[in-house]
Amino acid sequence: MLPVPVPPWPVLGSLAGGVGAVWLAWTIRQYRGKPGVDWFLLVFAAQALWCFAYGTGLLVTDPLLRKVLEGATWLGIIWTGIAFLGFALEYTGRGEVIRSRLFVGSVGFGLLSTALLVTNPAHGAFWTGFTHDPIFGVATVSYAFGPWAYVVVAVGSVLVASAVFLLVDTLLSYGESRRKPRRSRRG
């Protein structure tokens, strides 16, 4: 009996995530200019980049192209949290914070992280020891996180958690009055 190969479910899942992000962006594009929508489009662009690069990377065995796709994955990771916080701030009526030093600093962090990612071969801030490590029929890689990768994951987590907090706070503060249908004053 021949062994049954494991389907490349990580590839399919990742590419499906990318398609979903593109579909959501396509769906909301008509609302551009409304509070938070432009930032939300950036969230979907970063997520689509992340998902498509990762899913495609799992099919690529060429060492240079695989590193480029891994870098594109990290690029999506870097910018997702920043864009999501921008969305949450603008959507919840806190758009003035986007012009604050703190938020501008988060954009600066994204730019610095992007520069470090592009120049990673010179210093290993994101990863070192990049090797192919295929498993389950996909071209996975192994590497040791560099110190900046940990910083990116930590900062991104804080940005996303902050955005979720703002959205939940807004929902709890204003959501109840918007969810209940108003009763007619007629008889």
Assign 174 a pLDDT band (cuts: 50, 70, 90): confident
* pLDDT (0 to 100) of residue 1: 47
| 143 φ/ψ angles, rounded to the nearest 5 degrees | -165, 160
| Domain, as residue range, for 158 | 9-174
Does 35 have pLDDT greater than 80?
Answer: yes
* pLDDT (0 to 100) of residue 138: 86
Question: How far is CA 39 from each of CA 25, 45, 66, 70, 110, rounded to the nearest angstrom?
Answer: 11, 10, 29, 24, 15
> What is the average per-residue pLDDT within 144-171?
97
Task: Assess contact for 95 and 89: CB atoms under 8 A.
Answer: yes
Residue 22 lies in a domain: yes
pLDDT tens figures, 47-102: 999 999 999 999 999 999 999 999 999 999 999 999 999 999 999 999 999 999 99
Residue 13 lies in a domain: yes
Residue 179 lies in a domain: no
> What is the average per-residue pLDDT within 31-54?
96
Residue 183 lies in a domain: no
